[in-house]
Amino acid sequence: MHSLLLGSRWLLVLLGFLTTQAQAAAINTSSGWNMPTGVTGISQDIYSLHMIIFWICVAIALVVFGVMFWSLFVYRKSKGAKSAHFHENTTVEVIWTAIPLLILVAMAVPATGTLKQIYDSTEADMDILVTGYQWRWHYEYMEEDISFFSNLGTPQSQVLGEEDKGDFYLLEVDKPLVVPVGKKIRFLFTSNDVIHAWWVPDLAIKKDTVPGFINESWVVIDEPGTYRGQCAELCGQNHAFMPIEVKAVSQETYATWLEEQREMAAAEAQGSQREWALDELIERGEGVYTTYCAACHQEDGSGMPPAFPALRGNPLVTGEEGYSKHIETVLYGRSGTSMPAYSDTLSVADIAAVITYERNAWGNDSGDRVQPTEISELLSDD
């Protein structure tokens, strides 16, 4: 068991309770109630720093509370204690000013060393630009011409308790960030809208993504594995629902993955030019809808009026007249409301698909088919 328990004995009472956390702990290198040791040199340094300072604080607390409770016990009036008359003593005051100062210096030395290391992001092997969006992450491999969004993978039904929650509830994404082990990766952080923070405890990186500015951080991951994290800066209503999943793989696997991504990108580019069948659009659209739209308009299109309008049976979505307004809404959003613009976030195929899906799902049955080419044309017009 963890050494944390040796210090404060009453914590042992919690022991039985805490061990139930052990299997959940498999999610990362945290014991379930302490900071994860992590899988990088820096994360381990931070962990030891944390433990050293923690034990110093425990020691200080034991001494201070020890003297205090001892005094309370011994000098009770009910036991006939008479109060003494001293109220000053320069020597002790100097001592209890000097000792804490020395302790603090002792803490500051290793902290300074670690901090300097963290700030040295020079000589990286690769760069990844991480951009925060309300409420998803965008990753761009700067040397590879590959970029994609990474969304919450947990279905809405688990959140609403209609379905059992999976092991990685709220910590899973549709498309993880894949990186090679053993390489120095420099992350550049920025944001498209508000401030988010990209945090993966096992990598000991937490950096704010500030719109219009770029922050840096770096990592060398030693062990292959999946490392999970979350957005750590309040960024609006779905702040809790923009997790991070980093898959560290061997360098060979990484190379294969890159190849796959390039092929997929090529296929996607082709897809946006060809004619799509209705079923094909609906199938793809359903996936897009679940990831991007269901949080507000709900899985079954019922919305949450008055905040979020229903799309099921909505004249804009079913009728002829609404057709272009519908597309416009999805492309450019509605300013002044929380309805976002998707022209930059989704591919033209996705946009065509999701609109087609909405116009045919939940009994909307308009039979309309929106083609990716139609969307491209609209977008190139402006």
Partner 1 sequence: MSTSSYYVPATSKWPIIAVVFMGFLAVGGGVLMTSGTSGLAPLLIGFAGIFWVMYGWFSDVLKESQSGLYDAQMDRSFRQGMAWFIFSEVMFFAAFFGALFYIRTFALPWLDGEGAKGVTALLWPDFIASWPLMATPDPAVGGPEKVVNPWTLPLINTLLLVTSSITLTFAHHALKEQQRQKLTLWMLVTLVLGGIFLVIQGVEYVHAWTELGLTLQAGVYGATFFLLTGFHGLHVTIGLIILLIMLFRILKGHFTPDQHFAFEAAAWYWHFVDVVWIGLFLFVYVF
Partner 2 sequence: MVPETLTDTAAGEAAAVHGDDHHQPRGILRWLLTTNHKEIGTLYMLLSLLMFFVGGTMALIVRAELFQPGMTFVVPEFFNQMTTMHGLIMVFGAIMPAFVGLANWLIPVQIGAPDMALPRLNNFSFWLLPVAFTILLSTLFMEGGGPNFGWTFYAPLSTTYAPPSTSFFILGMHLAGISSILGAINIIATILNLRTPKMRLMDMPLFVWTWLITAFLLIAVMPVLAGVITMMLLDINFGTSFFNAAGGGDPVLFQHLFWFFGHPEVYIMILPAFGIISAIVPTFARKRLFGYASMVYATASIALLSFVVWAHHMFTVGLPLTAQLFFMYSTMLIAVPTGVKVFNWIATLFRGSITFDLPMLFALAFIVQFTIGGLSGVMLAIAPADFQYHDTYFVVAHFHYVLVPGAVFAILAAAYYWLPKWTGVYPNVKLGQAHFWLSVIGVNLTFFPMHFSGLAGMPRRIPDYALQFADFNMLSSIGGFLFGISQLLFVAVVILCIRRKGEKAPPQAWEGAEGLEWQLPSPAPLHTFDTPPEFIPERDSPSRH
Binding residues among 225-254 for ligand CUA as defined by CB under 6 A: 231, 233-235, 239, 242
Interaction residues for partner 2, span 220-249 (CB under 8 A) = 229-241
Backbone phi, psi, residue 186, to 5°:
-100, 125
Q: Which does 107 bind (CB under 5 to 8 A by kind): partner 1, partner 2, ligand CUA, none?
A: partner 2
Q: Which does 60 bind (CB under 5 to 8 A by kind): ligand HEC, partner 1, ligand HEA, none?
A: ligand HEA
Q: Is 44 in the site for partner 2 (CB under 8 A)?
A: no
CB of 309 to partner 1, least distance (A): 22
Give the Cα separation of 222 and 200 in Å (integer).
15
Beta-ladder partners of 202:
none
Residue 287 burial by Cβ neighbours in a 10 Å radius (0-12, 13-18, 19+): middle
Q: Is 196 in the site for ligand CUA (CB under 6 A)?
A: yes
Residue closer to ligand CUA by CB (options 142, 234) is 234
DSSP assigned state of 202 = G
Question: Are 129 and 207 a contacting pair, CB within 8 Å?
Answer: no
DSSP assigned state of 164 = P
User: Among 244, 330, 353, 370, which residue sits at the site for ligand HEC (rule: CB under 6 A)?
Assistant: 330
User: Among 42, 185, 293, 361, which residue sits at the site for ligand HEC (rule: CB under 6 A)?
Assistant: 293
CB of 147 to ligand HEC, least distance (A): 19
Query: How many other CB atoms are there within 10 angstroms of residue 298's CB atom?
Result: 18
Question: Are 185 and 200 a contacting pair, CB within 8 Å?
Answer: no
Q: Which stretch binds ligand HEC (CB under 6 A): 33-41, 78-86, 169-177, 291-299?
A: 291-299
CB of 49 to partner 2, least distance (A): 5
Q: Which stretch binds partner 1 (CB under 8 A): 53-61, 211-219, 221-229, 265-273?
A: 211-219
Q: Is 115 in the site for partner 2 (CB under 8 A)?
A: yes
Give the Cα separation of 198 and 214 in Å (integer).
13
Output the six-digit token pair for 4.
């944390």
Q: Is 212 in the site for partner 1 (CB under 8 A)?
A: yes
Q: Is 132 in the site for ligand CUA (CB under 6 A)?
A: yes
3-class DSSP string for 303-318: CECCCECCCCCCHHHH
Q: Which does 55 bind (CB under 5 to 8 A by kind): ligand HEC, ligand CUA, partner 2, none?
A: none
Give the Cα separation of 247 and 230 in Å (integer).
14
Residue closer to partner 2 by CB (options 76, 262) is 76
Give the Cα separation of 307 and 333 in Å (integer).
15
User: Among 144, 213, 250, 262, which residue sits at the site for partner 1 (rule: CB under 8 A)?
Assistant: 213
Residue with tokens 């033209």: 348
User: What is the distance in angstroms between the CA of the first residue and the CA of the last residue of the chain?
Assistant: 63
Query: How many other CB atoms are there within 10 angstroms of residue 254's CB atom?
Result: 19
Q: Which does 104 bind (CB under 5 to 8 A by kind): ligand HEA, partner 1, ligand HEC, none?
A: ligand HEA
Question: Residues 166-195 vs partner 1: string with x where CB under 8 A?
Answer: ----------------------x-x-----
CB of 212 to partner 1, least distance (A): 7
Q: Which does 242 bind (CB under 5 to 8 A by kind): ligand HEA, ligand CUA, ligand HEC, none?
A: ligand CUA
Q: Is 314 in the site for ligand HEC (CB under 6 A)?
A: yes
Backbone phi, psi, residue 197, to 5°:
-140, 130
Query: How many other CB atoms are there within 10 angstroms of residue 328's CB atom?
Result: 13
Query: Cα 324 from chain centroid?
Result: 35
Residue closer to partner 1 by CB (options 174, 216) is 216
Output the six-digit token pair for 313.
């049976």
Contact positions vs partner 1 (CB under 8 A): 129, 188, 190, 212-216
